[in-house]
């Protein structure tokens, strides 16, 4: 490859990064403040730290069971910007998520180039990292998933280096530290933490290799132990959850249509592509909505929430009906990059077995296998549709980019060019659809506010209403919290 091609690839990536930054910035200002998964609960967790100077009890609120790293960072932002008003505060909180997803894209481009993939493939893969709908929605979230994904991505960057030079103490320390931060941000950090074992499982064990592994483990435990020992001391378990408590349990049960079946993992009905939402509206007002029963397919709903707004957070509810072609267009276009990614994943899995764990992307493969197995187990025991979110796989953003690049590179020339064109088209179409106000209007109605007001009435000590009032200018400032029923 010529030096000119390398320079052109870097210029193209920088232009892409600028475009994604502008896109995220626009959405940060125009997306409804509470329009994301559990936004009110996350904001209340942050407010408790910022205003009261304490970590809430893990079972105190809606989202308080999560490890505290994101919330500590967000509390610093909250304290710095609260006096500037709701818009500045909201933008600052969303900036954490935006920079996290942008960082994932930068790392993906670096890793792909280091693994020998061409600049065109790396740029298209980075475009998918930035503009696949699940990433776009995450970039304006108030929540811990984007930051956890960023830490996991940094850990994988180090693990790819360790896979080639496992006795590199610096890379081992950084891998352990970043994996520990991922696990101290969200329980799904366990996926990358377990993948840290891969570079050190080899035949040529010596003192230097053992020392490197010990450094990786020590750096991870240094971050993780305080978090999980606190959980054990306070709740009796390392991973407490609030989903068994009210009102969380009742809300989750409302999304259970029937017990989980084995067939839910074996089929993806076409209706998941044609109507990529858990709610399908008849021709009429939103109150005529009914459940889309096809979304009982675990992988169908996962795919719909990767490539569209399956949970109606960004696309206003009244547009989730037949005749709106944005959803089917994106889900159909997304089949190409997703299929290529799965093809690449299969090739990477075969390479891992044939090379006995020594393939360059082996840590990414192991992490993906662990994550998919975990999702299967979790969704089996939690049959609610809300337990099946593509964002739960956000930490696989770098493995997905690498598998996509591997899959594209394995195709013959004409197919490779065609797949890159279609994948670029899919990313561009997703960027257009999810540019708030361009295809669909911003939903600044009271739907999200009312929902969190009801939830806050059940958890009066969790400060959900207080937090929502501070980040959402539509929340009436003189509204008093209601007592719990």
DSSP, residue by residue, 262-329: GGGGT---THHHHS-SSEEE-SS-GGGEEE-GGGGSHHHHHHHHHHS-TTSSSS-GGG-BTT--HHHH
Structural domain includes residue 93 = yes
* Residue closest to 37 by CA, chosen among 311, 318, 272: 311
**pLDDT tens profile 438-473:** 999 877 655 666 778 778 888 888 888 888 888 876
* Residue closest to 45 by CA, chosen among 19, 68, 15: 68
> Measuring CA to CA, how many Å separate 402 from each of 6, 137, 337?
19, 21, 12
Structural domain includes residue 406 = yes
Written as one string, the DSSP assignment of 399-457 is: HHHHHHHHHHHTS-HHHHHHHHHHHHHHHHHHHHHTSTTTSS----SSHHHHHHHHHHH
**pLDDT tens profile 320-332:** 888 899 999 999 9
- Asked if 452 and 465 count as a contact pair (C-beta separation under 8 A), the reply is yes
**pLDDT tens profile 112-125:** 999 999 999 999 99
> What local confidence, expressed as pLDDT, does residue 447 receive?
63
Structural domain includes residue 322 = no
> What local confidence, expressed as pLDDT, does residue 481 receive?
40
**pLDDT tens profile 337-378:** 999 999 999 999 999 999 999 999 999 999 999 999 999 999
**pLDDT tens profile 292-331:** 999 999 999 999 999 999 998 899 888 988 889 999 999 9
Rounded CA-CA distance 157/160 in Å is 5
Its pTM stands at 0.94
> What local confidence, expressed as pLDDT, does residue 485 receive?
32
Check whether 287 has a pLDDT greater than 60: no
Structural domain includes residue 313 = no
Radius of gyration of the chain (CA): 22
Classify the C-alpha dihedral 9-15-21-23 as positive or negative.
negative
Give me the residue label for tokens 């003189």.
Answer: 478
Structural domain includes residue 295 = no
**pLDDT tens profile 185-239:** 999 999 999 999 999 999 889 999 999 999 999 999 999 999 999 999 999 999 9
Please report which confidence band the pLDDT of residue 478 belongs to, taking 50, 70 and 90 as the band edges. very low
Show the domain range for 459.
3-243+334-471
Quote the number of domains for the chain: 1
Q: What is the mean pLDDT of residues 390-418?
A: 96
Structural domain includes residue 99 = yes
> What local confidence, expressed as pLDDT, does residue 251 receive?
86
Structural domain includes residue 226 = yes
* Residue closest to 80 by CA, chosen among 37, 50, 35, 111: 50
Q: Average pLDDT, whole number, for the chain?
A: 92
Structural domain includes residue 107 = yes
Rounded CA-CA distance 113/450 in Å is 47
């Amino acid at each position: 490859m010529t030096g000119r091609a390398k320079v052109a690839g870097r210029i193209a990536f920088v232009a892409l990064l600028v475009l994604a930054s502008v896109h995220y910035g626009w959405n940060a200002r125009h997306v409804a403040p509470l329009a994301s998964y559990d936004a009110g609960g996350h904001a209340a967790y942050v407010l408790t730290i910022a205003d009261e100077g304490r970590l809430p009890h893990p079972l105190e609120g809606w989202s308080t069971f999560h490890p505290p790293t994101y919330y500590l960072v967000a509390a610093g932002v909250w304290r710095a910007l609260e006096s500037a008003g709701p818009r500045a505060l909201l933008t600052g909180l969303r900036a954490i998520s935006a920079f996290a997803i942008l960082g994932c894209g930068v790392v993906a481009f670096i890793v792909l180039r280091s693994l020998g993939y061409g600049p065109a493939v790396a740029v298209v893969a980075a475009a998918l990292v930035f503009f696949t709908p699940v990433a776009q929605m995450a970039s304006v979230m108030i929540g811990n998933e984007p930051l956890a994904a960023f830490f996991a991505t940094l850990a994988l960057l180090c693990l790819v280096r360790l896979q080639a030079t496992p006795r590199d103490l610096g890379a081992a320390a950084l891998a352990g530290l970043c994996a520990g931060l991922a696990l101290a941000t969200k329980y799904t950090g366990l996926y990358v933490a377990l993948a840290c074992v891969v570079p050190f499982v080899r035949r040529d064990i010596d003192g230097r290799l053992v020392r490197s592994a010990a450094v990786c483990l020590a750096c991870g435990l240094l971050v993780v132990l305080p978090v999980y020992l606190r959980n054990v001391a306070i709740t009796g378990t390392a991973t407490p959850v609030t989903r068994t408590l009210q009102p969380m349990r009742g809300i989750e049960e409302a999304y259970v249509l029937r017990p989980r079946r084995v067939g839910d993992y074996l089929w993806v009905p076409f209706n998941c592509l044609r109507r990529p939402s858990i709610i399908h509206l008849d021709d009429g007002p939103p109150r005529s909505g009914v459940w889309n029963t096809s979304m009982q397919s675990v992988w169908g709903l996962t795919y719909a929430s990767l490539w569209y707004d399956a949970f109606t957070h960004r696309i206003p509810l009244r547009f989730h009906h037949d005749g709106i072609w944005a959803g089917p267009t994106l889900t159909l276009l997304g089949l190409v990059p997703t299929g290529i990614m799965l093809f690449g994943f299969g090739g990477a899995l075969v390479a891992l077995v044939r090379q006995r764990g020594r393939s360059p992307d082996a840590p990414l493969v192991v992490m993906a296998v662990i994550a998919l197995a975990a999702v299967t187990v979790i969704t089996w025991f939690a049959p609610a549709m809300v337990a099946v979110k593509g964002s739960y796989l956000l930490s696989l953003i770098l493995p997905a980019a690498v598998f996509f690049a591997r899959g594209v590179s394995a195709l013959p020339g004409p197919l490779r060019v065609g797949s890159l064109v279609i994948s670029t088209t899919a990313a561009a179409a997703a960027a257009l659809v999810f540019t708030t106000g361009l295809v669909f209007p911003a939903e600044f109605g009271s739907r999200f506010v009312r929902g969190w007001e009801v939830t806050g009435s059940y958890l009066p000590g969790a400060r959900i209403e207080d937090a929502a009032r501070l980040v959402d200018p539509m929340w009436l400032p003189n509204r008093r919290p209601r007592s719990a029923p």
